[in-house]
Amino acid sequence: MNFESCLVVGAGNAGRPVARLLNHEGVNVTISDTKTFDDFTTRRQDRLKIMENEGVTLDLGNKSPDITKYDAVFLAPTIPESASIRKEIKEHDKVEVTRKTISDIINRILPMDKIGITGSFGKTTTTDMLTNIFKAAGYNVYQCSSMKWNLVSEAIVDDIVKGEYIGADIAILELPHGTLGLMGEIDLKIGVLTNLRPEHLCEFGGSMEKYVERKACILPASQKLIANSQCGDLLTYKREDTVYFNFENDEAVNLDKYTPTYYGFYDDGKYNIRIVNNKETTESEIEIDTIAFYTYENLTAAIAVSREYGISLNDIKKGIGMFTGVGGRMEYLGKFNGVDAYYDASYGDQSVRQALESVKDENLIILYDNVDSTTIRDKAESGRVIGDYANIVIATGYVEITNTLDMDAALDLLNAIENDDVLKIALCTLDEAAELAMKYAKPGDIIVHLGPDASNSYQQAKTRMINGLNEGCKRYGNN
């Protein structure tokens, strides 16, 4: 690097990992923000304290940081192009730290082959499946996904600081759109697009085009690109060498134009994979007792990546046998007074439908946490979808990751349910909702948690739900 000191402007989701990574690299780093320390949530405060203990200087509550003291400056993406500080950087001839700067550092620290997984849904599951497959094939895997920390860029930097990657001969990385925005120019042996759906659009001004443009970072970064055929018209037509996969579905996917080399299908109650290679077609049945139907698309992606990397089908089958599911993805919590309870992080149209299709024939009680966790989301869409499946919906207003309460979000979701037969209840917290659910539940019913807290605050929200279910069993056990 051609600078010794750097000012990171903005202590948000982009600024924190950048400041910590540069500090780890020996740069004298100051992180500045208009917010005071007390303005940040408890979790963010904890992160800032860690950075300060490691040597990063905190300059909080400063609306006009002096850039002249530093060799380089990093500006958070939220800072507008019209901001005066951008003009100051040019006037004072300062080095601007960019996505390329951060990507180059990551490439140097992680020189092994890297597989990056992006898309709208299924990134974490695909990442975990691949990790099991590569381990079964004898690789020492460094893996990072949102299961470590909901902000994967922050999790990757945390792993780098702690040396979690040392000794690995391959890295398997989940790359959400925020992480791509920060380190989207890392060198990938294989890049993977699970699917592209209208999701997180509020972060892109409601524009699907801008959202897809962010995902497009993975195209030039990847030596080989593997994508769902569904992505073809949206993005991957830009690379004629794309290797496509697809799992049978009723979507309007142009399989003639974006013909899958790897095609998963369900036959006689079993998963099968058809591989077309050099005009030769092979089919193989795979026993997958531990994998739910709604993750078969992710399984097809994992098989495609593994075979393209050179993993044998036997090792793939062995690795799939080791996969026991991802926490917060229709995770079974057990029986409570004869009622099965599941814990799931879905909140968008497609992912909710995939999750609930597997249990739709039962009486369903849905516990829906506040979908506006780290970003504003479409409550109307969520409400309409769950109204197609649920008998009872209990929506909560508390956001675990920010320690805030917003009952308007819960009410907006309930008001969007168009099915008049659904009983709708709004409560503050998930433990209250789980406890009340036991009042209405009968043996044979199913309780399902939905919402991003199962990912963003996996253990905290899970503990709340289990505690609430147990309290409900005590209070309403004789109903």
Per-residue pLDDT tens over the stretch 246-259: 998 656 688 888 99
What residues contact residue 386 under an 8 Å CB cut-off, 6+ apart?
352, 356, 366, 368, 393, 417, 450
pLDDT band for position 424 (cuts 50, 70, 90): very high
CATH 3.40.1190.10-classified regions of the chain = 102-322
Which parts of 64-112 fold into alpha helices (H)?
Answer: 84-91, 99-109
Packing angle between helix 296-309 and helix 313-322, nearest 10 degrees? Answer: 140
Q: End-to-end CA distance of the chain, in Å?
A: 68
Q: What is the mean pLDDT of residues 320-327?
A: 81
CATH 3.40.50.720 domain range(s) in the chain: 5-97
CATH top class, domain 5-97? alpha beta
Architecture, CATH, for domain 331-476: Alpha-Beta Complex (3.90)
Statement: 102-322 belongs to CATH 3.10.150.10? no
Instruction: Give residue 113's pLDDT.
Output: 98
- The whole-angstrom separation of Cα 371 and Cα 382 is 9
CA distance 166 to 327: 25
Lowest mean pLDDT among 21-30, 183-192, 278-287: 278-287
∠ CA 202-186-114 to the nearest 5 degrees? 110
Q: Minimal CA–CA distance to 7: which of 48, 51, 68?
A: 68
Look-up of token digits 């209840």 = 425
Question: On the CB side of 97, how many CA atoms lie within 13 Å of its CA?
Answer: 32
Provide the mean pLDDT of the chain. Answer: 88
Separation of alpha carbons 126 and 145, rounded Å: 10
What pLDDT, on a 0 to 100 scale, did the predictor assign at position 447? 94
Q: What percent of the chain has pLDDT over 90?
A: 56
Q: For 105-160, how does the pLDDT look when each residue is reduced to its tens digit (9 = 90+)? A: 999 999 999 999 999 888 999 999 999 999 999 999 999 998 887 789 999 999 99
Residue indicated by tokens 């402007």: 9
Nearest by Cα to 40 from 401, 370, 369, 375: 401
DSSP label of 281: E
Look at residues 383, 387, 391 and name the one whose alpha carbon lies nearest to residue 419.
Answer: 387
In whole angstroms, give the CA distance from residue 466 to residue 218.
39
**pLDDT of the residue at 375:** 61
H helix intervals, 310-401: 313-322, 349-357, 379-387
Q: How much is the average pLDDT of 307-334?
A: 88
For the stretch 134-147, pLDDT in tens is 999 999 999 999 88
State pLDDT tens for residues 349-372: 777 877 787 787 778 999 998 877
Give the E-state strand segments of 329-440 in sequence order: 331-336, 339-343, 364-368, 392-396, 398-399, 404-405, 423-427
At 120, is the secondary structure helix, strand, or coil? coil
Q: Give me the helix-helix angle, 430-440 and 458-476, nearest 10°.
A: 40
